[in-house]
Amino acid sequence: MLEKESFKLLLEALEQLEIGFQRMPEFNSVYELDNLRTVLLEVATRMQDNFPYPHPLYVGQMLKPPHPIARLAYMLSLWINPNNHALDGGRASTFMEKETVQEIAKMFGWKTHLGHLCGGGTIANLEALWVAGKVKPGLKIVASEQSHYTHERICGVLGLPFTSVKSDCQGRIDVNALENLLKAGDVGTVVVTMGTTATGSVDPLPAILELRSQYNFRIHADAAYGGYFTLANNLAETTRAAFDCLSAVDSLVIDPHKHGLQPYGCGCVIFSDPTVGAFYQHECPFTYFTSSELHLGEISLECSRPGASAVALWATQRLLPYTLEGQFATELSKSRTAALALWQKIQADGRFIVPFIPELDILVWTPRAKSASIASQLAKDIFTQAAKNNLHLAIAHLPIEFFINIYPEMQRDQDQITCLRSCLMKPEHLDWIDEIWQLLENSYLQTTPN
C-alpha cells in the first residue's frame, strides 16, 4: 500500500545537495545506527494505528497523500533545515517560497499580490481577517453558517465583531439574508467560502461582487479547500462563474496541504493590495534581516517557518504546473467526476437522500427514514459497519432543511441530521467507484433490520 520506489532518489539528491558545501571541513554527527533502528521500527509499529488514508477505499475526511515529489523534496531540505523567517535562515527556500506564491496568485489571475505560506488555513485566515480588521476598523466580519468555524473563533481572538449569515439549501450563503445585513451599514468584510468544508458548496461570488459595488465592503475568499478547483474543467456553470471572479477579491486563502499534494503545515494567504504589508511592520533588536531584500518574516505573523514546506511545494509545482489542461488540473477534474459518479449511484438507488449535486468532490447523503432521528442513527450505524468492511467514510451534522427540501415526508423531530460524507480527493477514486458503491450497499444491508 505504501509507495517506496521513489525513495531511492533521495540518496542521489542528497549527494547533489552536498556538492554545494564541499568547501567546509569534514565532520561527523555522532549517533548509533542500531539505536535509531530500534526506535524507528517502534515508530513504524505505533503508526500502524491509523486509518488507511492513502488507500482509495479511504473516502472519509479531507486527507490526501502528498505527492512523492513533495515528500522527497521536504525530506531533502531537512538536511539543511531552512527557516523561512529570514533570508539568513534559508536563502534558497525563501526565493522558492516567493515563486510558489507567485504561481498561486497567477492561477487566480491576480496582477499584483503580497503573500506567503503559513501553517495552514487557520493561520492564513487569521492573517487575512487581522488585516481586514485593520483596513475596516470597528466593522463586522460576516460569513455564512456553513463557513468554517474558524472564522468566528478567529474574530474572537482578534476582538472583531462577527455575525453569521443564513445559508440556503445548497449550503451556500443566502444572498438576500446577506443584503439585509449589509443594509445596516456596519459590515466591513464578507467572507466568501469557495468550497465549504462540510459539503464543498461554493458561495455565489458574482452576486456578492454586485453587492460590493453598492455597499462597499471588503471580500475575503476562504478557498482553503476548494481553491485549486479553479483549474478543473468540469465544474457546473454557477461554480465556474464564482471561481472566474476570484481575481476581484481583496484577500484569499488556499491550503496546498489539502488539494495541493503537500504534507501538513502548508497554507497560503495572499492579498491583492501589496501595501497591506505595512501592517506587519515591527522592530526587533535581535532580527537577522541582514539584506535589504524582502524577508518573509517582515510580512508574516508567524516568525520561524519551515523552509521545507516551500521547497516541497516548489518541487510539486515544477513537476505538476498549475496549467489548465496539465496533469494536476486533470486529476482535480477526476475528483469531481468521481463525486458525480458516486452521486449518480446513490441518488438513483432510492434508499438514500442526497440533498444536492456535489459542486466539488465532496458528497453528503443520508438513508431515507421516517424521521430525522432514525436517519441519523442509521447513518452512524452504516458508518461503523462500512469501516468493518474496509470502506472508510465520514459523518457530518447538517441542517435538516438540506434533506427535507428533497424528502418532505421525513418527520422533523430534530433540527440537524447526522449524514454520511465522502471527500473523493484522490485521483484513484474514480476507478474505485463501483467497489465503493458495492461496499456501501453491503454496509446498508448489514445495518438495516430487513
Residues in 16-45 that interact with ligand PLP by CB under 6 A:
none
Distance of alpha carbon 163 from the chain centroid: 23
CB of 66 to ligand PLP, least distance (A): 14
Beta strands 187-193 and 140-144, pairing class: parallel
Residue 307 DSSP class: H
Q: Does 427 bind ligand PLP (CB under 6 A)?
A: no
- Closer to ligand PLP at the Cβ: 252 or 404? 252
Among 94, 100, 150, 418, binds ligand PLP (CB under 6 A): 150
Report the distance separating Cα 227 and Cα 21, nearest Å.
39
Report the distance separating Cα 75 and Cα 309, nearest Å.
10
Length of the chain: 450
Among 97, 203, 255, 331, binds ligand PLP (CB under 6 A): 255
Q: Does 167 bind ligand PLP (CB under 6 A)?
A: no
CB of 142 to ligand PLP, least distance (A): 15
Of the candidates 404, 382, 406, which has an alpha carbon nearest to the alpha carbon of residue 394?
A: 382
CB of 407 to ligand PLP, least distance (A): 27
Q: Does 148 bind ligand PLP (CB under 6 A)?
A: yes
Could you tell me which residues are beta bridge partners of residue 157?
none
Cell numbers given for 191: 467572507
Q: Does 229 bind ligand PLP (CB under 6 A)?
A: no
Sheet with strand 362-367: strands edge to edge: 352-353, 362-367, 416-423, 394-399
- Closer to ligand PLP at the Cβ: 85 or 148? 148
Contact present, 249 and 193 (Cβ < 8 Å): no
Beta strands 187-193 and 162-165, pairing class: unpaired
- Closer to ligand PLP at the Cβ: 204 or 267? 267
Among 130, 162, 225, 365, binds ligand PLP (CB under 6 A): 225
Report the distance separating Cα 197 and Cα 300, nearest Å.
25
CB of 320 to ligand PLP, least distance (A): 20
Could you tell me which residues are beta bridge partners of residue 364?
421
Kindly indicate which of the ranges 83-91, 121-129, 210-218, 411-419 contains the residues binding ligand PLP, using the contact rule CB under 6 A: 121-129
Q: Which residues contact 289 (CB under 8 A, 6 or more apart)?
A: 86, 87, 88, 295, 297, 298
- Closer to ligand PLP at the Cβ: 196 or 376? 196
Q: Does 335 bind ligand PLP (CB under 6 A)?
A: no
Q: Rounding to the nearest 10 degrees, give the CA dihedral for residues 267, 310, 59, 226.
A: 40
CB of 11 to ligand PLP, least distance (A): 32
Residues in 176-205 that interact with ligand PLP by CB under 6 A:
193, 197
Q: Does 385 bind ligand PLP (CB under 6 A)?
A: no
Of the candidates 339, 432, 394, which has an alpha carbon nearest to the alpha carbon of residue 56?
A: 432
Contact present, 64 and 426 (Cβ < 8 Å): yes
- Closer to ligand PLP at the Cβ: 126 or 436? 126
Report the distance separating Cα 233 and Cα 254, nearest Å.
19
The residue written with cell numbers 465544474 in the block is: 235
Contact pattern for ligand PLP over residues 52 through 91, marking x by CB under 6 A: ----------------------------------------
Among 82, 90, 121, 297, binds ligand PLP (CB under 6 A): 121
CB of 210 to ligand PLP, least distance (A): 23
Q: How many of the chain's residues bind ligand PLP (CB under 6 A)?
A: 13
CB of 255 to ligand PLP, least distance (A): 5
| Rg of the chain (C-alpha set) | 24
Q: Does 361 bind ligand PLP (CB under 6 A)?
A: no
- Chain residues binding ligand PLP by CB under 6 A are 120-122, 125, 148, 150, 193, 197, 222, 224-225, 255, 267
